Amino acid sequence: MASATGLIDYVAESPSPYHCVEATLQRLEATGFDELDERSDWGVLAVGTKAFVRRSGTVLAFVVGQDAPARAGFRMVGAHTDSPNLRLKPAAEYESEGYRQCGVEVYGGILPYTWFDRDLGLSGRVTVRTDAGLESRLVRIDRPLARVTSLAIHLNRKVRTDGFKPNSQKELPPILGLHGEGPGALERLVTGALDIEFEQVLAWDLMLHDLQAPCLGGLDEEFVFAPRMDNQYSCYLALEALLAAEVGEATAVVALYDHEEVGSSSATGAAGALLENTLRRIEAGHETKAPGGFERAVASSFQISADMAHGVHPNYADRHDGNHKPRVNGGPVVKLNTQQRYATDGETAARFKNACHELEVPVQEFINRTDLACGSTIGPISSARLGIRTVDIGCAQLSMHSIRELAGAGDVSPTTQVFARLLGS
Ligand SMILES: [Zn+2]
């Protein structure tokens, strides 16, 4: 069953999107889900089949429903595995003033100041040459080897009056050490961790992560203090809901995508073809046939796009609209934006709220202040691409896109129950 401590374990295992997919697969495989290779023939998909497809930082998992998708449709929950962070450039390492440093690129909308003076480890994926061809391997180095170091106040007194606006090229590259053994320190680190030869490393997708462990926090442990709550929190809830859902009439699908924080347009993102291709194959492979096929299935489908919501912050309460101030631990938040930055409309909101009412789960609503621009998420993208009716929801959190965020321990279980109800309906 979903719990705040289960969430903490999941996030601790997931410093990169690739690790988040791996943490998800381990839980799926432990409960009887089998991997399907995208390149293989899937044959007939019997009722109750539990399977998943993975591609890099994205995983789609499903439980085949009792009726043909053309009649019963799909019940889906979508979320994203990626979070804003700092990523290593390809030829990252350089020397400056006697220090070894590495060049970094900003991935997504980080809150830059939160990355300063944290102890940072390294994780991600390295593609290596082997006798059997090219292989991608996960790598994770959990020791404090990098630090984006701030400038002393004595050398930067104006920061107190002018604010802190770091230049990302000049001020974000972390310090890795002193001269050391010269160039190649990062490669040596990676080859040591993977037990391979220096020459085998061809390319990498590596990123930095905060080493402070996620934990419960607050007077009554009512909070989760952790990195990547946006959006591994929702990934965990979606996964646990799929594991808990009954096999319903409709086929249940959980889609956890990479690349939401940079717009979703990629081979693994929500704007790509992966979901549509997978749904088409499930529809075509279902043991029960019904005329009308995929297009008919889309018309009967319903999707929850789960991404975190902005809880009201006591020090900045004026940033919220008067009657739309979601609280942490106040239950899931239905997010609405008439400019379609969120895919919710009155009908999809009602369907979600109805499920909350049936389960006696409190439900909240969010709409931006009219004079503030609204963020967006995978909901409008996948709903526009496929034409599936969608509600955008999320649990309330603070410090979104900080290196360490604050979410509610009390929202985990009730929100998962609502997801499971809708997945099994
Ligand atoms: Zn998000």
CA of 400 to the centre of ligand 1 (A): 8
Q: Supply the pLDDT for residue 339.
A: 87
Quick one: fold of 85-210? Aminopeptidase i, Domain 2 (2.30.250)
Answer yes or no: is pLDDT of 76 > 90: yes
CA of 43 to the centre of ligand 1 (A): 35
Q: Supply the pLDDT for residue 30.
A: 97
**Max intra-chain CA distance, the chain:** 74
Answer yes or no: is pLDDT of 179 > 80: no
Domain ranges for the chain, please list them. 4-83+227-423, 85-210
What is the token pair recorded at 69?
A: 């998708």
Write the CB contacts of 113 (distance below 8 Å, at least 6 apart in sequence). 164, 166
* Residue 146 vs residues 127, 174, 416, 420: alpha-carbon distances, Å: 22, 6, 36, 41
CA of 78 to the centre of ligand 1 (A): 11
Q: Quick: pLDDT tens for 394-421.
A: 999 999 999 999 999 999 999 999 999 9
CA of 307 to the centre of ligand 1 (A): 5
d(CA 412, CA 416): 6
d(CA 329, CA 414): 10
Kindly report the average pLDDT of the chain as a whole number.
Answer: 95
- Of 148-152, 153-157, 216-220, 381-385, which range is least confident? 381-385
Phi, psi (degrees; rounded to nearest 5) at 269: -85, 170
CA of 378 to the centre of ligand 1 (A): 8
Judge whether 361 and 422 are in contact, CB under 8 Å: no
Q: Which CATH architecture has domain 4-83+227-423?
A: 3-Layer(aba) Sandwich (3.40)
d(CA 174, CA 152): 16
CA of 199 to the centre of ligand 1 (A): 37
Q: Quick: pLDDT tens for 123-134.
A: 999 999 999 999
Give the pTM: 0.97
CA of 136 to the centre of ligand 1 (A): 26
Average pLDDT of the residues in 335-349: 92
Residue 100, classified by CB atoms within 10 Å of its CB into exposed (0-12), middle (13-18) or buried (19+), is buried
CA of 260 to the centre of ligand 1 (A): 7
Average pLDDT of the residues in 267-279: 93
d(CA 242, CA 421): 10
CA of 47 to the centre of ligand 1 (A): 33
CA of 8 to the centre of ligand 1 (A): 18
Q: Supply the pLDDT for residue 377.
A: 86
d(CA 264, CA 16): 16
Q: Quick: pLDDT tens for 291-326.
A: 989 999 999 999 999 999 999 999 999 999 999 999
**Tokens 């006591």 sit on residue:** 314
The three state secondary structure string of the chain is CCCHHHHHHHHHCCCCHHHHHHHHHHHHHHCCCEECCCCCCCCCECCCCEEEEEECCEEEEEECCCCCHHHHCEEEEEEECCCCEEEEEEEEEEEECCEEEEEEEEECCCCHHHHECCCEEEEEEEEEEECCEEEEEEEEEEEEEEEECCCCHHHCCCHHHHCCCCCHHHHCCCEEEECCCCCCHHHHHHHHHHCCCHHHEEEEEEEEEECCCCEEECCCCCEEEECCHHHHHHHHHHHHHHHHCCCCCCEEEEEEECCHHHCCCCCCCCCCCHHHHHHHHHHHHECCCCCCHHHHHHHCCEEEEECCEECCCHHHHHHCCCCCCCCCCCCCEEECCCCCCCCCCHHHHHHHHHHHHHCCCCCEEECCCCCCCCCCCHHHHHHHHHCCEEEEEECEEECCCCCCEEEEHHHHHHHHHHHHHHHCC
CA of 258 to the centre of ligand 1 (A): 11
Partners of residue 86 on adjacent β-strands: 106
The bridge status of strand 364-366 relative to strand 120-130 is: unpaired
What is the token pair recorded at 168?
A: 């990302």
Q: Supply the pLDDT for residue 7.
A: 98
d(CA 332, CA 393): 7
Average pLDDT of the residues in 361-385: 89
Answer yes or no: is pLDDT of 61 > 70: yes
Q: Quick: pLDDT tens for 214-260.
A: 999 999 999 999 999 999 999 999 999 999 988 999 999 999 999 99
Q: Supply the pLDDT for residue 181.
A: 67
CA of 83 to the centre of ligand 1 (A): 7
CA of 362 to the centre of ligand 1 (A): 22
Write the CB contacts of 243 (distance below 8 Å, at least 6 apart in sequence). 27, 28, 31
Average pLDDT of the residues in 50-75: 97
Q: Supply the pLDDT for residue 382.
A: 84
Answer yes or no: is pLDDT of 386 > 80: yes
pLDDT-derived band at 86 (thresholds 50, 70, 90) equals very high
Residue 69, classified by CB atoms within 10 Å of its CB into exposed (0-12), middle (13-18) or buried (19+), is buried
Helix axes 346-358, 412-423, angle to 10 degrees: 110
